[in-house]
Structures are given as structure tokens and as C-alpha cells.
Amino acid sequence: MQNAYDWLLISKSGGELLATIDLVTDEPDLPGIVAKEECLGLPQTAFDGPCLRCRYYSRLANSHYCYFCNHVMVRESVVRSYARHSVALWCFVNYPPKKIPKTSHEVFCHIVDDNRFICCTNRWNLKNFLQEMMMIQGPDWLGTLQIFPVFRGGETLTMSDLLCSAIFDESALVQDRLYIKFFSSPYQFVHKREREREGKLIFEATDFVGYLEMAEIFKRGLYLEEQDRLRQLLDIEDASEKQFYWGRFLAQVRPEARDFLDSWKMKNWTESQVSLFYELLDFVKFDPDKCISNIFQNEE
């Protein structure tokens, strides 16, 4: 446990990950100080042992954790609620960010080295964060951004597992443009090859931001019940039956929604495209003030 990078990799839950990033950002010298001054923990016995979190350093008096882990767990209790709705970005790029953009939601960020950094923010802030970051960095910013949800972690899969998998795959793509690897669920890491074959894993950054824009328009243009009915309609395999229900559906929605559904040619989307699009809906915010129906009512 020599540096902040080592401490990030033992985060079992999303709360621990955000707390660790927050701690090493506020006190960047702390990992080095701990590595020099802390003693190794005692061998595990029935009555004592090393820190229950890192399993490396000795415990503090009247505590189950070492000095660093104790600080992490205290902060974890504060950021836990924020972590429930957060998304993480593990970034392997040709140069580090010039600055972290200011957005409407808090951003936790730690620069690991000249080519790697990690960011966590609210999942509804993903589109704005990507747009701002790409604008700041410019067109020469190349590499891979791996996006995956922050989650609680469990016995079979933890945040540490996701980070290690992201690090293992970070250089799989050539750095000739800015790519995004997108996972809407932590357990999709297990089936990443299948996801790649379906065209739901790797995107160019500008295309991915465009998909998020479409998802945002879709979410504020159709009611939830209409979104569910459309999904059922798109799952129909018989072409003539699908065409019949498609016409009925368009007749029931608002003209504005009808326009964007027709322009996207959504009726002809493949099953993989539909599945990916509905996954993206969880990563865009529904703003009632920007709802199409409200906008037109205000204009009237």
C-alpha cells in the first residue's frame, strides 16, 4: 500500500471509492505518510489481527481499522447516499485533464498519473460532464473512457473487481480517437465480449454523447407509460403486426414526439439498439420544466 492508486484498488463499495478519492484529493500526501509510519498488522488470531479493510496495517486502538481505512470509513458514511446514484469513469488517455469542469453536480476526481485518472459524478450529470470535458481537452484528446455504475458491492463482485477489469482492458483500443466503453450494470463486465458483439460496448465519444442527447429528448417527450408501450411494440417480431401497432401508437402521442420518433426511424431499430437506448434512459435526467408538453403550454 504505497500510494493512492493502491488504496483505490481495495474499494469494495461505491461509497468507499468516493470516500477514498475525496480523501486523497484533500490530503494527497497521506498515503505516503501512512506507508512510512504505519506498522504492519499482527497475524490474524481469534482475538486480534490486521485492519479488517486493507488486511495490511495494524488497527487503531479500539477500532477495527488502520489510520487510513478509518478515515475512509468515516467519509464513506457521509458520501454513501451520493454514491447510490453515481457513475464512475476510468480514463486512459494521451494526456491528463487540464481542469475538471464545474457542473451542477459534484465531481470526485483523482489523477493517477500522466495517462490515467478516475472521476465519479451523478449519473444524470454524465452528458454534461462529458461535453464539458471534451470541450476543455480539445480534439487532440485521445484514449478510452470506461463508464460503469458505482454500486454497493457484494460477495461475488466488488468495485475493486470492476476497477481491475477496467485497468486490464484500458489499452485494448488504439489511441487514434476518443472511445467510450459503456456498462449500464456492474454485472455486464462478466459478459463484455457478448456485449461487444452486439454493438453495445464501444462507441466514439461524440456518438455516445449524441445518444445521451436522444435519450434526454425521448425521456421528456414521452410519458413513462408511453415509453413502456413503445418498448413492447418494438419487441414484436411480426412485421405486419408491428406496422399496425406502430401506426396506432403514433396516433396517440403528441405531434412533437411523433416527429422525433419518425426522424430517428426507431421502428427499424435492431433489438440491440433498442436495448441500449433503454439502458441510457437511466443515465439522463427528466426535467419537468423542459418537458415538451410544458414548453408548448407555456408558449400558448
Categorise residue 236: left if φ over 0, alpha if ψ from -120 to 50, beta otherwise: beta
pLDDT value at residue 299: 44
Q: List the chain domain ranges.
A: 1-80, 85-197, 210-299
- How far is 213 from 86, CA to CA, in rounded Å? 19
pTM: 0.90
- How far is 254 from 129, CA to CA, in rounded Å? 31
Helical H segments across 84-223, by residue range: 126-137, 159-169, 192-197, 205-221
- Render each residue's pLDDT in the chain as its tens digit; 300 residues: 578 999 999 999 999 999 999 999 999 989 888 888 778 887 877 778 899 999 889 998 888 999 999 999 999 999 999 998 999 999 999 998 988 888 888 899 999 999 999 999 999 999 999 999 999 999 999 999 999 999 988 878 999 999 999 999 998 888 899 999 999 999 999 889 999 999 999 999 999 999 999 999 999 999 999 999 999 999 999 999 999 999 999 999 999 999 999 999 999 999 999 999 999 999 998 776 666 555 444 444
Categorise residue 3: left if φ over 0, alpha if ψ from -120 to 50, beta otherwise: beta
pLDDT value at residue 23: 94
